[in-house]
Structure 1
């Protein structure tokens, strides 16, 4: 094969790659840079801001500790009721929610169903009539 044929074959392969990439990107249903329900989150952001402000004002940041195959969350007040959203940065299909309610100042959540690796845990709870929200990063070994 001469140089001209090699150049034409290389250009053809590159064009096929570009066209294939275009069809793949257009065929994708979601955009990873866009929130699923960003209008709803934008409307209710003042509530989120108030919860985070309450967290700072009351110094109510909970403490998370791994103990074996469970996660212990220690709150500053007792009688907490809320929800934990588990978000996996590398795979959004693994995102889950857990609801909790406790009369004491701590709650234990099982970790058996969670994969190893990095997790972002968003806690939203109410303690002694005040709403709070915090975000924690956790690595499950």
Structure 2
């Protein structure tokens, strides 16, 4: 085999490699870092920022206690809101739970049906006519 044949075989293999990569790229899943509803999130960003700042202003961050069978959220006052459990690695495992605190200003979430690993807790609630938003990552 002379050098011209080797060059053509090398170019053919490289072009095949590029075509295979292009096909795999177009057939792959969407990127987990890209939000589908980014436009709505952009419109609601001011409300989220206000809620996060309200937590700092009122020193109203909930106390989060983790155990093997539950997550306990302790608030400063009576709270009504939503808890979103977001799995960083798999969007299909995300959960949304509505809650209302008991007389001790607590809310308990059983973790028996929640997979172990890293989760992002996003807590949005209303208390005394004010809206709050708090985020924290936890390992269950």
Give the drift of 1:138: 0.6
- Counterparts of 1:1-141 in structure 2, within 5 Å, are 12-28=12-28, 30-77=30-77, 79-104=78-103, 105-140=105-140
Relative distance call for 1:24 and 1:64 in structure 2 (3 A) is same
Give the drift of 1:103: 3.3
Relative distance call for 1:84 and 1:9 in structure 2 (3 A) is farther
Give the drift of 1:12: 4.3
Count of residue correspondences? 139
For 2:114 and 2:13, locate their aligned partners in 1 and report how far apart those are by CA, in whole Å.
42
Give the drift of 1:114: 1.1
TM-score with structure 2 setting the length? 0.85
Query: Structure 2 stretches of 5 or more lacking a match?
Result: none
Query: Structure 1 stretches of 5 or more lacking a match?
Result: none
User: What value does the CA root-mean-square deviation take over the aligned residues?
Assistant: 2.2
For 1:63 and 1:47, locate their aligned partners in 2 and report how far apart those are by CA, in whole Å.
23
Give the drift of 1:68: 3.1
Deviation per residue, 1:103-133 (Å, 9 max, x gap): 3311000111111111111111111221100
For 1:29 and 1:68, locate their aligned partners in 2 and report how far apart those are by CA, in whole Å.
33
Give the drift of 1:19: 1.5
Relative distance call for 1:69 and 1:5 in structure 2 (3 A) is farther
Question: The residue matched to 1:103 in structure 2 has which SS?
Answer: coil
